[in-house]
Amino acid sequence: MGNCCSDENGGHSGVGGNGAYAANQNNGHNEAFDALLKSRGYQGLYSHVELSLSATGLRDRDVLSKSDPMVVIYSKGRDGSLQELSRTEVVPNSLNPKWITKYTIAYHFETVQNLVFRVCDVDTQFHNQDVKMLKLEEQDFLGEASCTLSEIVTKSNGSLTLDIIRGEQSSGPTHAQKSGKLTICAEESVASKTTVELKLRCSELVSKDLFSKSDPFLVISKYTESGMMVPICKTEIIKDDHSPKWKPIIVNIQQVGSKDSPLTIECYDFNSNGKHDLIGKIQKSLSDLEVLHSTGSSTNLFTSAAVGQSSQNKVLKSQLFVDSFFEKTQHTFLDYLAWGYELNFMVAIDFTASNGNPRLHDSLHYIDPSGRPNDYQRAILDAGEVLQFYDRDRRYPAWGFGARPIDGPVSHCFNLNGSSDYCEVEGIQGIMTAYMSALFNVSLAGPTIFGPVVTSAADIANQSLMKRERKYFVLLIITDGVITDLQETMDALVHAADLPLSVLIVGVGGADFKEMEILDADKQRLESTHGRVAVRDIVQFVPFRDVQSGDSVLQALLAELPSQFLEYMRLKRIQPT
């Protein structure tokens, strides 16, 4: 998967980055710069996946010969609209074709990528035409199959076989006719796994501060096709040093494009107000950096000429050295999925009285008769829509907290399904049904306490670990309020950081979520009552009000999961075989 960051034993991330090795400690975080990275296209991990297609038992539409099939691949939008992505070649006279044409697609974990495959029989008179020029309405429709990309890549052999349907599936069995089977095989590109580990240092950096030395960090950016620079990597900050040596960083070659693709390496002086001063920069490719390392030479940083002045850049005394350049292949998120790993979804819902009476329109728990989901329902649906494909049995632990069940005391972790014996429900719809049922069977109370639900999730993760199951757990906590057990929750999270578990917190309503920012631990690693520091950051927080204009914020929240998953695997030295 594409991403890069400082190594796991390295210093804190220079600008609060995410990634499998980033340590994210103390004053390394800067929200302004993180927002800039996101606005310029910095995303979570992704892979390029090559799709191969074959079919069996196709319908024969020709009189004197067999069909001449071709597949058209579409992406399907949320509104049902189709966008054509690619076409295979035509395989003459075959009801069991194996198409040679492959289609490469960028797999993004955080989104549901719906695909539609339409098979058609191309008339003989069009066989000499380029398939891109064929008018599909002039060809015989043999049927179609649909799935999500997640359904393909989560198969242990990377292969999914679907029924080819001719007619409207929703119209009942008399209208939906099976017309053979389509098999889609997915293979992750080698470039997705190939990385370069770099160890960089500088000398004779100029000072940007009046009374102290600079606090330098590096940002590596690539150029998009439109010529825009997009950051792909950053180092940690080195305090008060004009000859800094940074910890190793890892650059994914796929993310760069190729070893010969031009890169810009910028050296900044960190400022806590977010206005980092540019010390200097260079423009080199990975191949150029490899030469610098092999020859033991260096290159001078420069600054761009000011507008209206000489067109020549100003060359500085400051130099960049490449102390190590190591190309290697890393196991990716998809490798672990192919090995049989699952992501198991869990949810915990805030039933404290601050949410308001569920029967009133201004309540955060109000169930709209029109079917429009409230923010709790939206968070469950949006997260569950993505995560459901990574959990084979689709049985989800679901809890409530901060309410008084019928004839009982206030509970800070009760089973959402009303059972006293088990906490699981069937599917995302099972969570929704249990949630709405609980609203009429509990009395909203308080205070807001997280510790017990985090502990319950950690217990399940620990039991799975003891059984040597290939499972990683994702707990979604949806809350409207300020928690009252901050230190107890921190203690539970420090313990959970050593387990296969991540925690996503979504804040609904207009409350002050300062405690959530502390739990997010981007500025400083969580520390327990006894002084134990969390081995990794497992919490991601987003206020749902930031998602109102679209799904991008929630997608960014989910995009962190593969990095956290890989960080755990590398921390525990778990490798797929």
User: DSSP string spanning 145-171?
Assistant: EEEEHHHHHTSTTSEEEEEEEES-GGG
Q: With CA atoms as reference, report the closest residue to 400 among 429, 372, 428, 423.
A: 423
Note the pLDDT of residue 33.
35
Q: How confident is the model at residue 253 (pLDDT cuts 50, 70, 90)?
A: confident
Q: Any idea which of 110-124, 133-147, 396-410, 509-523 has the lowest mean pLDDT?
A: 509-523
Per-residue model confidence as pLDDT tens digits over 437-457: 999 999 999 999 999 999 999
**d(C-alpha 451, C-alpha 424), whole Å:** 19
Note every long-range contact of 3-6, with CB atoms under 8 Å and residues 24 or more positions apart, other chains counting. 3/44, 3/45, 3/252, 3/255, 3/563, 4/195, 4/220, 4/232, 4/233, 4/249, 4/250, 4/251, 4/252, 4/255, 5/233, 5/234, 5/249, 5/250, 6/235, 6/236, 6/246, 6/247, 6/248, 6/249
Note the pLDDT of residue 311.
61
DSSP state at residue 305? P
**d(C-alpha 551, C-alpha 544), whole Å:** 10
Q: Any idea which of 16-30, 34-48, 401-415 has the lowest mean pLDDT?
A: 16-30
**Is the pLDDT at 430 greater than 90, yes or no?**
yes
State whether residue 347 is helix, strand or coil. strand
Domains of the chain: 48-168+175-188 (2.60.40.150), 192-329 (2.60.40.150), 341-572 (3.40.50.410)
Q: How confident is the model at residue 297 (pLDDT cuts 50, 70, 90)?
A: very high
Q: How confident is the model at residue 524 (pLDDT cuts 50, 70, 90)?
A: confident
28-to-44, 125, 271, 536, 546 alpha-carbon distances in Å = 19, 65, 10, 15, 24
**Is the pLDDT at 559 greater than 90, yes or no?**
no
Contact in structure between 376 and 364 (CB atoms under 8 Å):
yes
3-state helix, strand, coil split of the chain in percent (to 5) is 25, 35, 40
DSSP string spanning 321-344? EEEEEEEEE---HHHHHHTT-EEE
Give pTM, 2 decimals. Answer: 0.77
Q: Tokens standing for 408?
A: 């009982």
Q: How confident is the model at residue 560 (pLDDT cuts 50, 70, 90)?
A: confident
Residues in contact with 388: Cβ distance below 8 Å, sequence separation at least 6, in sequence order: 345, 394, 427, 428
β-strands 539-543, 140-148: how paired? unpaired
**d(C-alpha 203, C-alpha 241), whole Å:** 9
Note the pLDDT of residue 551.
53
Q: Which residue has the tokens 């399907």?
A: 76
Arithmetic mean of pLDDT, 9-24: 31
